[in-house]
A and B are shown apart, each in its own frame.
Chain A
Amino acid sequence: MNELLVKLSDCVEFGKINLASPYPPQMKGQEGADEITKKALEEGVDPQDILMLGLMPGMERIGVKFRENKVFVPQVLMSAKAMSTALVHLKPYFLSGAARQKGTFIIGTVLGDLHDIGKNLVSMMVEGNGYKVVDLGTDVGSEKFVTAVKDNPEAVVGLSCLLTTTMASMEKITRDIKDAAPGTYVTIGGAPVNQDFCQKIGADHYSPDPQGLVEFLNAKIA
């Protein structure tokens, strides 16, 4: 495989954004995801390969380390930043159809809840694993979710919450999506929720970490 793609996957795994970035210390002074992606495109590497063989393996490795509690939120955020920097260069190819994302994931924090750290983290991890993400923001009610599902009929939906008080809101939104668009997969995540809650409200999948969600999406969409 192209050596640049191996380097790119390392940049994503370790959160090396660009040459100027001091993080991580062991990669100081080296080129980051930004320069390497540009270079790969200039050398004529297929943008699809950059996504599938460069960005995704790096994202998967950090996702697994996060699940195993070997790294924490800051490291994942740096990886996500490196990945987003690379994606900026790939965007024109997605738009032109020269490179294809695996599918669409709609995400939002549920009505009544304004917390976005977990939602943003999941959104970036999913995007880095090759999906188009439609981020509806925070405090999102049924209507907005249902509209987004109608606009993206093949999409999987992710509901996020942090507050225990908004768990009821998650149940209502799940049921409203299922009523409006039966067959749509609804996944949930957030500090107060678990597998038992997922079953009770009729959602399709719960994961305590983003990697579990990515694996669910890969199984259902890709």
Chain B
Amino acid sequence: MKKIFQEIQNGKVLVSDGAWGTFLQKKGLKPGECPESWNLSRPDDVYDIARSYIDAGADMIETNSFGGNYFKLKNYGLENQVFELNKLAAEISRRAAGPDHFVLGSVGPTGKLLMMEEVTEDELYQAFKEQSMALEAGGADAIVIETMTDLEEARLAVKAASENTGCEVICTMTFDKILSGEYRTMMGISPTEMVEALIDAGATVVGANCGNGMAEMIGIVKEIRKVNAKIPILIHANAGMPQYCDGETTFPESPADMANRIKEIVEAGANIIGGCCGTTPDHICEVHHAVRIL
């Protein structure tokens, strides 16, 4: 039963969660420390993050597993704990979500380039398969493959998740606005190129995450809607580009800034809206209220 898809078919606009990485840092995660290791060493802090987004009004929360693939964990010597750390990540978010909210198992890129022969297609597929299956085992309802820039890697991740789990599969890529005013990922992929390729690989929801604030996301949603009127769209927007002052990084978009864009992005065709880097439970709370009064 594809529940998220069903709710969207029924006309609902859903609210997702906000940032995890920047939240973990606020709780004391050090630069160079493996975020996923906290699922084992500091599960209560991870739970607090998940719970704070549920309390803020999110319909769904992600898991602390963005960098939980074999290749990223290998950087920390944790490559033998892929299954354990991802399963724990999903269990923690499941506990926070309860039965009434969705859990999206977060899957990020491996950091390895296929075209530079740093990794084979099969190795990528196996890594995404292992991670997705662990997230499902921990209770994830959906797998959200995010921050992708290479279409081949994204396709392999979607295929691995859809062929090896019963979860719904969401995939979002990260776009920048280029000089011509069009949107492209770092690897040159446009939102329109992305759509059919990901649906073909098995994605039931597509979209964009990270990037440069909610306003830019509206343009990306419009691009996707040009080529596909029906596919549900998920947006996880940054609170703008980071600004640096006295050793601290801050993000410029306030909860109200974000909420003010909700009507426009929903009219453009977005179905699920949440935050990425720099967004907080306050942002999600405002987004939740903006969605309720639509």
Q: Chain A residues in contact with chain B, CB under 8 A?
A: 68-69, 71-75, 77-78, 81, 111-117, 139, 163-169, 171, 192-194, 196-197, 200
Tell me whether B186 and A72 are in contact (CB under 8 A).
yes
Tell me whether B31 and A112 are in contact (CB under 8 A).
yes
Tell me whether A74 and B31 are in contact (CB under 8 A).
no
**CA–CA, A71 and B180, complex, Å:** 12
- Tell me the interface secondary structure of chain B in the complex: loop
> In whole Å, how far is B172's beta carbon from the nearest beta carbon of chain A?
17
Asked if B111 is at the interface (CB within 8 A of a chain A CB), the reply is yes
Tell me whether B180 and A81 are in contact (CB under 8 A).
no
Q: Which residues of B contact A163 (CB under 8 A)?
A: 21, 31
Nearest A residue to B114, CB-CB: A74
**CA–CA, A81 and B188, complex, Å:** 18
> In whole Å, how far is A78's beta carbon from the nearest beta carbon of chain B?
7
**CA–CA, A154 and B185, complex, Å:** 37
Q: Chain B residues in contact with chain A, CB under 8 A?
A: 21-22, 25, 30-32, 72, 75, 111, 113, 115-116, 149, 178-180, 184-188, 241-242, 244-245, 247-249, 277-278
Tell me whether B32 and A74 are in contact (CB under 8 A).
no
Tell me whether B249 and A69 are in contact (CB under 8 A).
no
Tell me whether B111 and A164 are in contact (CB under 8 A).
no
Tell me whether A72 and B187 are in contact (CB under 8 A).
yes
Given contacts A112-B32, A192-B249, are A69 and B242 in contact (CB under 8 A)?
A: no
Given contacts A68-B179, A115-B111, are A73 and B244 in contact (CB under 8 A)?
A: no
Given contacts A114-B75, A164-B242, are A72 and B188 in contact (CB under 8 A)?
A: yes
Q: Which residues of B contact A200 (CB under 8 A)?
A: 244-245
Nearest A residue to B179, CB-CB: A69
> In whole Å, how far is A137's beta carbon from the nearest beta carbon of chain B?
12
**CA–CA, A117 and B185, complex, Å:** 14
Which of A113, A116, A192 is B242 in contact with, Cβ under 8 Å? Answer: A192
Tell me whether B188 and A73 are in contact (CB under 8 A).
yes
> In whole Å, how far is A117's beta carbon from the nearest beta carbon of chain B?
7
Q: Which 3 A-B pairs have the closest CB atoms?
A: A112-B31, A72-B188, A112-B32
Q: Which residues of A contact B186 (CB under 8 A)?
A: 72-73
